[in-house]
Amino acid sequence: MSAVHRLVTLFLVVALVVTSTGPALAQESQTSSDEMKALLDEGVALYNENVDQLDVSFAESFIAGKTVNVYIEDGDETHVFSAVVEDDMQIADVKTGPNPDASIRITTDYDTLESISSSSDPLGVVEQAIRDDRIRVTGEKGNLVDQTIWTLANIIKGLLF
């Protein structure tokens, strides 16, 4: 698995898989951001409790100390969350809405989340969704360095897969 896949999987398996589970998401376009945020908080707590058991050294230079905005398209709505990945790779300060200081942008949609949560192999589904661009990581608008890094990473990903 490439560093890009590992990085995204690290964040998304917690954020997206947990966000997509639970009865709150049973009806498309009727999920409130507050319901999604509550589930996201549970997933982040689980991740933070177990981060010391994960080998996240590959991702530190890409994401440690960064703020990430996660955009989830849900019918006619887009739910947006932000989080800070601390230097020790703990996820902190999860909030509803975009953070204007975020430098990384992760985008996906409800259907992708649903396929992840219903899979017996969620990591495999995340990896495939990354390859298919159903989960996309880019630099957030206005952050030229991260935009360049993630543009290059996506080009390389496109050449490898």
Q: How far apart are CA 29 and CA 14, in angstroms?
A: 22
| C-alpha separations of 53 from 46, 56, 62, 116 in Å | 12, 9, 19, 22
Which of 35-44, 122-131, 144-153 reaches the highest mean pLDDT? 144-153
Stretch 94-116: mean pLDDT, rounded?
87
* Amino acid letter, 144: L
Q: Residue 140 has what pLDDT?
A: 94
Lowest-confidence region among 25-29, 67-71, 87-91 = 25-29
For residues 158 and 127, give the distance between their C-alpha atoms in angstroms, rounded to a whole number.
13
Packing angle of the helix pair 3-12, 144-160 (nearest 10 deg):
110
What local confidence, expressed as pLDDT, does residue 39 receive? 65
36 lies in which domain range?
Answer: 3-160
Q: Of the spans 6-20, 48-62, 85-99, 115-129, which averages the highest pLDDT?
A: 85-99
Q: Which residues contact 61 (CB under 8 A, 6 or more apart)?
A: none
Tell which residue, 61, 65, 77, 79, has the closest CA to residue 15.
79
Q: Could you give the residue ranges of the DSSP H alpha helices within 64-137?
A: 110-117, 122-131
Residue 52: CATH number of its domain: 3.30.1050
CA-closest candidate to residue 135, choices 12, 53, 17, 31: 12
pLDDT of 67 higher than 90: yes
Reading the block at residue 84, the tokens are 């800070």
Reading the block at residue 37, the tokens are 């945020």
Helix (H, G, I), strand (E, B) or coil at 3: helix
Stretch among 4-13, 52-61, 72-81 having the lowest mean pLDDT: 4-13
**In the chain, how many domains are there?**
1
pTM exceeds 0.85? no
Whether residue 6 has pLDDT greater than 90: no
CA distance 11 to 91: 8
Over pLDDT 90: what percentage of the chain?
10
Reported as a single tens digit per residue, the pLDDT across 7-34 is: 455 555 545 444 444 433 434 445 677 7
Neighbours of 78 (CB within 10 A): 13
